[in-house]
Amino acid sequence: MQEAIDAVRSGRPLLVTAGAGLGVDGGLPDFRGPGGWWGDQRLEERATAAWFDDDPAEAWAFYRGRRALYASTPPHPGYAVLIERAGFVFTSNVDGHFVRAGLDPDRIVEIHGSLERLQCATPCSRSTWPTEDALPFPLCPRCGGPARPNVCVFDDRRWIAVPSVLQGRRYDSWLGDHPDPVVLELGAGTAVPNVRREGERLQGLGATLVRVNPHEAEGPPGTLSVAIGALAFLSAVG
Ligand SMILES: [Zn+2]
């Protein structure tokens, strides 16, 4: 624990990699855990890109509720610690919490997109635009069909990845300038392993990996594993 705190405080460039477990401490449901968004198997089967063709009003009722929950759950105090210290953030979270908490939007890559952007459900173009609320659901300004959140759902071939690709270019550039960062991984589980893999990839290239996870803190040799929640760790870092 102390070694992990020292690494984060060392002044070396800090890359924060975050999964759903980061928000759990603030009261948000986990992606797949008990009570999580996809805990209902039937929902997991239906929450596909085609949902917006089959029943856009129902799909939007789900996503509107999800976004409203995020919006009504303020980012917990750990975000302030991260924003002060992070050089860059790599996250699978779609809740927009880092930016809402004050992170410079040019210092984040949202690998699964964000609920704060919309795209055409078809899609008829590669455009994305800021999320707006409309009943029964927002429409694509170009073709008039249903819009959908610009988040990557299961096996999603219609997701417009342009914003994430552009973020990814800034991320690659940051890594190029800071080749040996400390990687602080928070709440990244093994069910959707993209975030864990990224930290391990960078560890293989010389980064120091701090893995904070109350249930799955184990990592490759050299990992500084801390088996507590993200908020508890960040409170200790200060
Ligand atoms: Zn369209």
Q: Which residues touch 193 (CB under 8 Å, ≥6 apart)?
A: none
Ligand 1 mean position, distance from CA 171 (Å): 29
User: How far, in Å, CA of 62 to CA of 37, rounded?
Assistant: 10
HSE-CB of 181 using CA atoms within 13 angstroms: 26
Residue 104 alpha carbon to ligand 1 centre in Å:
30
Catalytic-role residue among 97, 112, 178, 215: 112
Catalytic residue at 215? no
Phi, psi of 178 (to 5 degrees): -135, 75
**Residue 156 CA to ligand 1 centre (angstroms):** 17
Domains and CATH numbers, the chain: 2-237 (3.40.50.1220)
pLDDT tens series, the chain, 238 aa? 999 999 999 999 999 999 988 987 766 665 555 445 555 555 666 677 889 999 999 999 888 988 888 888 888 999 999 999 999 999 999 999 999 999 999 999 999 999 999 999 999 999 999 998 888 999 999 999 999 999 998 779 999 999 999 999 999 999 999 999 999 999 998 987 999 999 999 999 999 999 999 999 999 999 999 999 999 999 999 9
Q: Model-level pTM greater than 0.95?
A: no
d(CA 32, CA 132): 27
